[in-house]
Amino acid sequence: MGTEPIIQQWVNLNGKLVPKTEASLSIYDHGFLYGDGAFEGIRVYNGNIFRLTAHLERLYRSLKSLSIEFCVPFESLTESVVDTVRQNGHNYGYIRLSVSRGVGLGLDPSKLNSPPTVIISTEQLRLYPQELYDNGLHVITTSTRVPPPVCVDPQVKSLGRYVNNIQAKMEANAAGAGEGLMLNMEGRVAEATGDNIFLINHGELTTPPTSEGALPGITRAAVIDLAKELGIPCRQSVVTLYDVYNSDEAFLTGTAAEVIPMVTCDRRTIGNGKPGPITETIINQFRKLVLVDGVKI
């Protein structure tokens, strides 16, 4: 039997498509040295890049907040993302767009000797097996907290922000849990390690606001929009572990996770221990939305 031909994959590096096997960074890139930059994870579904504009708008806001001088026009960056996805033939998949401050040794940004580094790549990614979407996640609360907003604003999706999230994910893995909830310094629920959280009580959705340490997720915003269209009340409000334990339903949202039910937390059963009807409605409507809301490749 013959072997399958290897399909060349491409990476967009500073505006140029190069073979993935040849793409490289300077060892003095600020993203590598200090986590100094911002990124976006984006999904493409059947040739539709889901809410690409919203992702890029958040990236530009993050870069402005970090005072990274990014001179790539919005339209040009959009075209670069589309071209990279098209070149790799990924009608379904995950897009990673990262921007670092540039190249230079030392913390002082004034010593950098290059413009920002821009990398666009595509991969196949599935965060959870299908059985967890069918039956729900078992979640624990981690001891690792989200950084307080006065130190790292959660609205900035920075390269360096996720050290805490990785530590919390390791805690969840060690406990055999599907995901870990992260609290803020006041002990209130902020988010999961890679997802936002929604609770459902008496037919109403609740999610923590960004002021509690939650990232303003693109999927989170999509669910809030869907709830409004479906006539489901939804509010952003402080969430405690008491609220989580006593909710009727709960689910997590994120670009990689999409919308996934949560059926236990710290060994407390949520609702009847199965994905609830409102959660299933949101999941079904979200799966329709991702095919039409975005930019076609």
Give the pLDDT confidence of 109-165 residue by residue, as tens digits. Answer: 998 988 999 999 999 887 788 999 999 999 999 999 999 988 889 999 999 989 999
Distance CA 249, CA 201 (A): 7
Query: Is pLDDT at 1 greater than 50 in this prediction?
Result: no
* Mean pLDDT rounded to a whole number for the chain: 95
What was the pLDDT predicted at 183?
A: 98
* pLDDT tens readout for residues 53-66: 999 999 999 999 99
Neighbours of 160 (CB within 10 A): 15
In Å, what is the CA distance from 187 to each residue of 151, 181, 183, 193, 241? Answer: 17, 11, 5, 16, 9
Distance CA 24, CA 239 (A): 43
pLDDT-derived band at 5, boundaries 50, 70, 90: low
* pLDDT tens readout for residues 17-68: 999 999 999 999 999 999 999 999 999 999 999 999 999 999 999 999 999 9
Distance CA 189, CA 40 (A): 23
In Å, what is the CA distance from 166 to each residue of 16, 119, 127, 192? Answer: 31, 22, 14, 11
Domains and CATH numbers, the chain: 10-123 (3.30.470.10), 130-292 (3.20.10.10)
Neighbours of 225 (CB within 10 A): 14
Contacts of 200 (CB under 8 A, 6+ apart): 206, 247, 248, 249, 250, 251, 276, 278, 279
